[in-house]
Structure 1
Amino acid sequence: MLKGNFFHGLGYLGEGFRLIRQPGLRLFVVIPLVINILLFGVLFYFLAEAFSLLIATAMGWLPDWQWLQALDWVFWILYGVVILLMLAYGFVIVANLIGSPFYGYLSELTEKHLTGQEVDTGGGWGQILKDIPRALLREVQKILYYLPRALLLLIIGLIPVVNLVAAVLWFLFNSWMMALQYVDYPADNHRVSFGDLRRSLGAKRLSAFGFGLPVALAAMVPVLNLFVVPAAVCGATAYWVRERSSQA
């Protein structure tokens, strides 16, 4: 039986957008935001053509059945949604690889703002530099968790008829991954292992899906996805503070 509160989870991203406007947090929002803008420009340039090619290739694999060809627009939409979800999380992966040291510190400052208590991570710019290798290793752990599951869903999405459920599975998986991705920042600040984090989120899976759902949607919207990353970090920290305290 799934536990947690889906509707409570939905509110955390909105809280994150309110938090990133706080004076003490803005600097650690602006720096990765500039990085994301540059990154998004480069990715958009190279992926625009790749998107069309992937759609054409996927459609070419369909058998030459008349009823399938008559529904080609449905498959175009399904493949389009799946690819957009892949690109959305792909953007998040690359953005977080680059900005992870800043996001860890942003999460620390957000938790201090919410609780009034210091998070014992060392703090400061020196700590950000020291944490770069550990932060990158943590991002690699998430990528290794993501890739085999994404590959399995991609294979399912290429099977005619079965692929009708692929977009739904992708969306649920992306919602879960977004929760896992961002709640990992406050968890890492408290030295909670990646495995323990997965189990903690799994114990309140409905809350996790509620948080991850709007993040996954926002990550698919150009321009908005530039701002959703720092907002998701702050929202995930609020999730960590409130959901963990309710588990205690």
Structure 2
Amino acid sequence: MRDLGVGFGYLLKGQRWVTRHGRRYGFGLLPGLITLVLYAAALVALALWGEDAVGWATPFADDWSSPWRGLFRGFLTAVLFALGLLLAVLTFTAVTLLVGQPFYESLSERVDADVSPDGTAPESGRPLWRELWISARDSLRVLVRAGLWGVLLFALGFLPFVGQTVVPVIGFFVTGFFLTEELAAVALQRRNVDLRARLALLRSRKTLVWGFGTPLGLAFLVPFVAVFLMPGAVAGATLLARDLLGEENAGDDSAAPGGRPDTEDATP
């Protein structure tokens, strides 16, 4: 269980790193803000017209007597919005990383260089368009896996007692795992670690992954928090990826190579 604390420690170290590199933190906020606006608009639309959509999809309930028709459609509307919210939580990171690929790639490289003994960061050697394609393709594949888990957990949620206690806890751990995969992919993709190998790597240290991703997933449920935590989450996931691969860290992760303060990115 020690790995749980280590994983959480990487989450905190990542946030500390970005607070000491103010300019990179500021640029790292932009993709999250753009994605947040898009998701907020989608959820507002779902809240406003979700009931109409449910009514259109359930014409067989038109002749039901009151209050059963209202209760049935009200329940389905609530379920539809809950699924939309869950989908937003699961996909927010993937979409934000895709929108902000150049920002987060640069941030992750700088973290690697800061903690690498020789002050260098691994490079994939691929052009940006290729990186974007791989990121989008892998994110879709991860989303399918996460969606299957979501459907299973939703079905199990109807079980008495277990559905209201155990299933939500499992859901948070599942969310934390896939959230960590998306974030660590920024650093691991640069090292040419494909999706299958990434998933195997994360499964080999599940408690480490849960310690990082589960509290982050819980924090992401709070409106706007995800936007401000994303840059630090990418930084922390880079440190976690180095741990998974057994790469050596030199000195404090908040310092530049050689232990000197990073004056280029420090806040005034």
Q: Which band: TM-score by shorter chain?
A: 0.7 to 0.9
Distance, in Å, in 2 between the alignment partners of 1:55 and 1:18 is: 44
Say what the alpha-carbon RMSD is for the aligned residues.
3.9
Q: Which amino acid is 2:208 matched to?
A: S
Distance, in Å, in 1 between the alignment partners of 2:20 and 2:157 is: 49
Please say if 1:136 is aligned against 2:133: yes
2:226 paired residue number:
225
Q: Which amino acid is 1:183 matched to?
A: A
1:15 paired residue number:
13
Distance, in Å, in 2 between the alignment partners of 1:218 and 1:138 is: 24
Q: Deviations for 1:155-174, whole angstroms, at most 9, x for unmatched residues? A: 65157723545533432221
Q: Which moved more, 1:14-23 or 1:147-156?
A: 147-156
Q: Deviations for 1:143-191, whole angstroms, at most 9, x for unmatched residues? A: 2122244145226515772354553343222110011111111111222
1:121 paired residue number:
123
Distance, in Å, in 1 between the alignment partners of 2:168 and 2:80 is: 8
Task: Return the offset for 1:102.
Answer: 2.1
The 4+ residue runs of structure 1 with deviation greater than 4 A are 51-57, 74-83
Please say if 1:84 is aligned against 2:81: no
Task: Return the offset for 1:206.
Answer: 0.5
Contact persistence 1:186–1:240 (CA under 8 A): yes
Aligned residues: 235
- Pick one of 26, 35, 39 that aligns with 2:35: 39
Matches within 5 A, 1:183-194: 183-194=184-195
Shift of the 79–106 alpha-carbon distance from structure 1 to 2, 3 Å rule, reads same
Percent identity over the alignment?
A: 18
Shift of the 113–133 alpha-carbon distance from structure 1 to 2, 3 Å rule, reads same
Shift of the 207–76 alpha-carbon distance from structure 1 to 2, 3 Å rule, reads farther
TM score, norm. by length of structure 2: 0.71
Q: Which amino acid is 1:119 matched to?
A: A
1:50 paired residue number:
46
Which blocks of at least 5 consecutive residues in structure 1 are unaligned? 61-69
Q: Which amino acid is 2:172 matched to?
A: F
Which blocks of at least 5 consecutive residues in structure 2 are unaligned? 59-70, 249-268
Secondary structure of 1:222's counterpart equals coil
Higher helix share: 1
Q: Which amino acid is 1:109 matched to?
A: R
Distance, in Å, in 2 between the alignment partners of 1:224 and 1:234 is: 16
Distance, in Å, in 2 between the alignment partners of 1:55 and 1:136 is: 36
TM score, norm. by length of structure 1: 0.76
Contact persistence 2:50–2:77 (CA under 8 A): no
Shift of the 158–75 alpha-carbon distance from structure 1 to 2, 3 Å rule, reads farther
